[in-house]
Structure 1
Amino acid sequence: MVSRPAPASALPPGAELPEHAGFWRAVLDDVRDPVFVRDPDGVLRWANSAGERLAAGAVPEFVDVTETTGKVDAGGVLRPARIGALPDGWQAWTVPDGGRRRPEEFLAEVGPRLAAARGRHGTARLIAELAASALGDCVFVLLPTTRGRWEWWSSGGAAAPGHGRIRRVPAQAAPVLAGAFAAAGRPEARAVPGSEVAALPQVVAEQFRAHSDVSVASLGGEGVAGAVLVGRRGEPPFGAAQSRAVEGFATAAGTALANAHRFALQEEATRGLETTLRPQDPARMDGANFELWYEPAAGVLGVGGDFYDVLARDDGSAFVVVGDICGKGAEAAALTGRVRHSLAALHLVERDGRTLLRLLNELLIAGGSNRFATLVLGSVATTDSGLEVTLASGGHPAPLVLRRGGGVEEISVPGTLVGISPQARFAEATTQLSEGDVCLLYTDGVTEARNITESTELFGDERLYTVLEDCVGLPAQEVVQRLREAVREWLGDSGHDDIAVLAIEATAHAE
């Protein structure tokens, strides 16, 4: 028979230990786990050094879960604890693993902040700050940039948070760091040798000089290369789980950088798309003044389905159009671009408005889009007495004329929707504007604006006429301004559909 040694905790026969409090306090004070001693009334009577550090000057709260387990609330964080029964109803509460936070708690805390980060610079700076707050004493985030250099962001350490560029260190001089940049898949925390730290540019090496441990993890894995360097002077904040905490954080940080990169590409594409879709300032024309109100519905793009154009012609006249593409958002904006560019080309070879609408109708049907459009378009030409405005319409709200002498007139221009049927028919009408008269072209974003307090009530034609009747005799700029104010007051801070308004005013000819 093989005899087994007694457990390490077993005492030799007849041995006794001291019973005075000083002895046990000295023993427990060297225990790394926080220990709290409570009296029979539940009052905290003593804590060892680790417990005092965990409490940080505050009185912790104790929550019983079972007879032998509970939770200690220190600084708003609940940590699991073991409850040991002592003589006469006293208890010893021990927080295992030194009271350290679990990596999962840290990652749950920083995850939403990383997800909300925007931009490469802002995301990298936040990564450095969050890592320095919990993982180590000094952190550098390194991302590759142009001309063989790294861009860096730092936090913690002796210096203030910083940002700059440094030369890349050859792989031969820093193989561990080079491996982190080249790594694919889940990040792995690896120790960086002191010789490799010393080979880094001074701005980095100087910050890590007094650190006992420097580790690196990849920030890549989703198409974005990078690395995070974490330096520590003392014990790892997460104990045996330190590597797991660094690797989990690097994974979340790499995802945040990849999202920032994708967001930047989307913003660049959006700006490029807006440049081609956004209407330009109206052309200048002697004897005419063009005033605008263009307000797309809220969305990613700064353009929408409503549009306008005022394009100059060689004979001194102008081509004008106000339109509304069915729907809103990116798809409507894209079709808006097609319509505007098509009309910009067609009007150079065709002046008749009905023919332009017929050609556009055929283009939309041939393009296979399931969206339709309403438009009013035509020509503005000078005459001896003012302006001659010839307009054709395809299912659009009727143009209105504010006569300087009094009254608001409707120009009847019937026509069917554009892009629905090959048998669509369009009409054309001509009106004369004397000096001071204003012709108003608008989209239904005006009349269909919903009231801030009663969403089923629309601004409507009647209110539009009331506003315009009060504007008779005013210049076009004032007419548009008053209409905008009336609609905005009706809407309040609620959303609205795209709005486009073009006012054509007959003015005196230049001398």
Structure 2
Amino acid sequence: MVGYAQRVPLFVTPSPGAPDSPRGGGVSVSAAWSDAPYPVLVVDGDGDVVDANEAARPLFPLAADAGGLPAEDLPLWLADAHRRLRTSGTPEPGAVSGTVAGRTFEAHPSPGEDGDVVWWLVENTDLRLAEDALRTERERTELLARVSGVLLSSLNVDRCTEVTARMAADHLADAAVIVAPAQGRRHPLTYAQVGGTVTQELTQIDPSSVPGLAEALQGFPPVPTRWIDPECLPGWVIPPGFRGPIGSVIVTPLPGHGAPAGVLILLRSSTHRAFTDGEEVFARLFAARAGAALSAAHLYAEQVSITATLLQELLPPRLERVHGVEYAGAYRASQDHERVGGDFYDVHPGTDPSKETFAVLGDVAGKGLEAAVLTGKIRSVLHALLPLSGDHQQVLTLLNEALLTSHHTRYASLVMASVRRRSGLVRLRLTSAGHLPPLIVRGDGRVEAAGTTGQIVGALPRVAARSAEVVLAPGETCLLYTDGITDARGGPLGDQLYGEDRLRRVLGECARMPAEAVVERVQMLAAQWLGGGRHDDMATLAITNPAGGRGALHIVSGPDDATGTGRGRRPGGGGR
């Protein structure tokens, strides 16, 4: 603030009785201030204006016409300042300010003789308007930052829509309506009022009934507010319980990524002032931030839906007893936050109990989503080759050709099993393609490796393999597993491999156990060996000839818990 001595010209008091003195012995309108560019008022001890210069008379026409202005007609803020000055005898620190005729002034006092005070009115209207504009822009910038932070903190479409409507009603208007893109013939509508609850509904509307709405839903620029007649709005635009007629309306699109995220309609009651041009521009800025957040939420929801659909094809299948043979599987991805990877297993039962059931377990080179994609392709090819599953060599040859002509550069190892139960015995034909040989758990606890060998698929022009025939008596199990089990590194020192020998000892303790119990025990002990260490994908598939005849059904679902194992029960069944 400029000092008093710098802002106020020197006040000159002529001698009593001077010709230009209107009141003997009092303050006179001398040449020192009568022609000053500032409005000047001379106020006596009673608060009455006794004189004013030319610059002040347009502001106080009564003072000019009547030769004075009574105290009750003096602006209240100036009358209060004059009264406090008379009471204290010293000017208040800093200038007092107020409005006169819609303009803003700072008032500086100069005490004179006989209790009169000369008040210099320095206009600062432009400064006040600039400060108000700056404060408004700061508030709007803070609001936009808060809007972005709140909206982007959630990628839920309904939550983003609700927050957008609520913030728009609380900060921009008396009520807000969000019109989302049509779902079939109906549009989702979200209503919000100041201090009220947010409501949502799905209804059929006519966008052409609101000027600019149909265009905004297509992403075109908004129409000016002055083009919209509030009295012609259809009933569905008015939020339930809204009080008072609509006085002003803004319709602005919610821009999205490539497609509009919807339209924001702002409503202001006729009891309040209409939207200004500045408010209309700010509403568009708000809508741009909200539209970006809503569009991001829609994209995220779409990606989640796509991912869920793809996962249904990539996740291991549900396994159960088929034609008197128990099947159980368990899977654990290399990253605990992932659900799919490069290991897989499948069981494809034939519709005829006299036919063989085709089972396969494999391991794609690598891990993560890229390996899972190739896993899905291998599973699809094997499913298409089911009519040829009786000839393992032909299946491997065709699968190898499919992988060699693929854009994938990864290879895979796998082991196939053709299973048939007859006369209480389960006969398996096992073929390994570069995979670890299956382990056979006999009823007396002995563990044997199946004598099958072969080459990996997807790496060489030709693949050769040697099959092995295995017979399981009641209570015996054939375990197919990936190297994620035997290569699990952990133990007391944290750097020892779990190894095949340790796996064999564990399996020896699982003699005559159900298939489900075998895979759960193997996975549990391997996880305990790992501790919190890193590991590869781990998959196990147990094929068991039940010890108690037909017995109860043992069903193992896909990986629906932290270890990739699950359990459930349902009668009868096919394969996947």
Superposition TM-score, scaled by structure 2 size: 0.66
Alignment of 1:219 onto 2:282: no
Name the amino acid aligned to 1:342.
V
Change (3 A) 1:103 1:487: farther
Q: 1:491 to 1:184 in 2, by over 3 A?
A: farther
Residue in 1 aligned with 2:151? 114
Matches within 5 A, 1:293-312: 293-297=330-334, 302-312=339-349
1:365 equivalenced with 2:388 (yes/no): no
Name the amino acid aligned to 2:379. Answer: R
Q: Which has the higher mean CA deviation after the structures are superposed, 216-225 or 357-366?
A: 216-225
Corresponding residue to 1:268 among 283, 305, 310: 305
Distance 2:143 2:404 in 1: 57
Contact 1:157 1:207 in 2 (8 A): no
Residue 480 of structure 2 is aligned to residue 480 of structure 1: no
- What is the deviation of 1:258? 2.3
Could you tell me whether the CA contact under 8 Å between 1:447 and 1:460 is conserved in 2? yes
Match of 2:371, as an amino acid?
A
Structure 1 contact 97–239 (Cα < 8 Å) conserved? no
The equivalent of 2:24 in structure 1 is none
State the distance in 2 between where 1:299 and 1:189 align: 54
Please tell me whether the aligned partners of residues 397 and 462 of structure 2 are also in contact (alpha carbons under 8 angstroms).
no
**TM-fit CA distance, 1:490:** 4.1
Call closer, same or farther: CA 1:146–1:22 in 2, change over 3 Å: farther
- 2:267 corresponding residue in structure 1: 231
Q: CA deviation at 1:289?
A: 0.9
Aligned match of 1:180: 216
Equivalent residue in structure 2 for 1:353, among 385, 392, 415 = 392
Out of 164, 179, 182, the position equivalent to 1:145 is: 182
8 A Cα contact 1:188 1:218, kept in partner: no
**Mean Cα deviation higher: 285-294 or 112-121:** 112-121
- In 2, Cα distance between equivalents of 1:226 and 1:148: 15
Question: 2:325 is matched with which residue: 259, 269, 288?
Answer: 288
1:376 aligned partner, one-letter code: V
The percent identity for this pair of structures is 31
Give the distance between the partners of 2:540 and 2:482, measured in 1 at CA: 7
2:165 counterpart residue number: 128
CA contact 1:142–1:228 (8 Å) conserved in 2 = yes
- What is the alpha-carbon distance in structure 2 between the residues aligned to residue 299 and residue 203 of structure 1? 50
How far apart are 1:228 and its partner, in Å? 0.9
Q: Distance in 2 between matches of 1:184 and 1:449?
A: 59
Superimposed CA distance per residue, residues 376-420 of structure 1 (whole angstroms, 9 cap, x where no aligned partner): 002112244622222111121221122220232222433222100
Partner of 1:59: none
Corresponding residue of 2:503: 464
Kept after mapping to 2: 8 A contact 1:176/1:192: no
What amino acid is the match of 1:139?
A
- CA–CA distance in 2 between the matches of 1:30 and 1:472? 97
> Aligned equivalents of 1:174 and 1:441: distance in 2?
66
The 8 Å contact of residues 284 and 312 in structure 1, kept in 2 or not, is answered as no
- The corresponding residue for 2:444 is 405
Q: Which residue of 1 aligns with 2:430?
A: 391
The alpha-carbon distance between structure 1 residues 265 and 236, as it changes in their structure 2 partners (threshold 3 A), is farther
Amino acid at match of 2:191: S
Q: 1:269 corresponds to which letter in structure 2?
A: I
Residues 445-486 of structure 1 deviation map (CA, whole Å, 9 limit, x = unaligned): 333445599876554445433433333343322222222222
Q: Which runs of 5+ in 1 are unaligned?
A: 1-5, 33-83, 85-93
The whole-number CA distance in structure 2 between the counterparts of 1:243 and 1:22 is 45
Give the conservation status (yes or no) of the 8 Å contact 1:224–1:257.
no
In the alignment, is the contact (CA less than 8 A) between 2:428 and 2:470 conserved in 1?
A: yes
Q: Structure 2 vs 1, CA of residues 126 and 310 (structure 1 numbering), >3 Å: closer, same or farther? A: same
TM-score (norm 1): 0.74
For 1:498 and 1:236, locate their aligned partners in 2 and report how far apart those are by CA, in whole Å. Answer: 66
CA contact (8 A) 1:393 1:415 kept: yes
In structure 2, the CA distance between the partners of 1:320 and 1:218, relative to structure 1 (3 Å rule), is: same
Equivalent residue for 2:362, pick from 304, 323, 328: 323
SS at match of 1:175: coil
Q: How does 1:191-210 map to 2 (within 5 A)?
A: 193-196=228-231, 198-201=233-236, 203-204=238-239, 207=242, 209=244
Unpaired runs of 5+ residues, structure 2, are: 1-34, 43-50, 54-77, 87-91, 103-126, 552-576
**2:445–2:510 Cα contact (<8 Å) kept:** no
Supply the distance in 2 between the matched residues of 1:390 and 1:206 (Cα, whole angstroms).
Answer: 74
C-alpha separation between the residues in 2 aligned to 1:398 and 1:7? 108
**For structure 1, which segment, 99-108 or 122-131, has the greater mean C-alpha deviation from structure 2 after superposition?**
99-108
Query: Residue by residue, what CA displacement relative to the aligned partner does 1:348-380 show, whole Å, maximum 9, x if unpaired?
Result: 224232332222112211224201111000211
Cα shift at 1:321:
0.4
How far off is 1:238 after superposition?
A: 12
Q: Which AA in structure 2 matches 1:153?
A: T
> Aligned partners of 1:22, 1:458: CA distance in 2, in Å?
93
Aligned equivalents of 2:338 and 2:259: distance in 1? 26
1:27 Cα deviation from its structure 2 partner: 5.8
Distance 2:368 2:233 in 1: 54
Give the alignment of 1:24-173 within 5 angstroms: 28=97, 96-97=132-133, 99-100=135-136, 101-146=138-183, 148-157=185-194, 159-169=196-206, 171=208, 173=209
Give 1:180 shift. 2.9
Secondary structure class of the residue paired with 1:102: helix
* Amino acid across the alignment from 1:226: G
SS state at 1:422 partner: coil
The separation in 2 between residues aligned to 1:235 and 1:444, in whole angstroms, is 74
Shift of 1:342: 1.9
* 1:51-79 Cα distance to aligned partner (Å, 9 max, x none): xxxxxxxxxxxxxxxxxxxxxxxxxxxxx
Size of the aligned set, in residue pairs, is 445
Which amino acid in the other structure matches residue 260 of structure 2? V
Question: Counterpart amino acid of 1:505?
Answer: T
Q: 2: distance between equivalents of 1:148 and 1:290?
A: 48
Contact 1:198/1:205 (8 A) holds in 2: no
Would the aligned equivalents of 2:475 and 2:511 in 1 still touch at CA under 8 Å?
Answer: no
Equivalent residues of 1:181, 1:220 under 8 A apart: no
Match of 1:70 in 2: none
In structure 2, what is the Cα distance between the partners aligned to 1:452 and 1:285?
Answer: 37
| Contact kept in structure 2, 1:438 and 1:504, CA below 8 Å | yes
How far apart, CA to CA, are the structure 2 residues paired with 1:98 and 1:367? 63
Q: Rg bigger for which structure?
A: 2
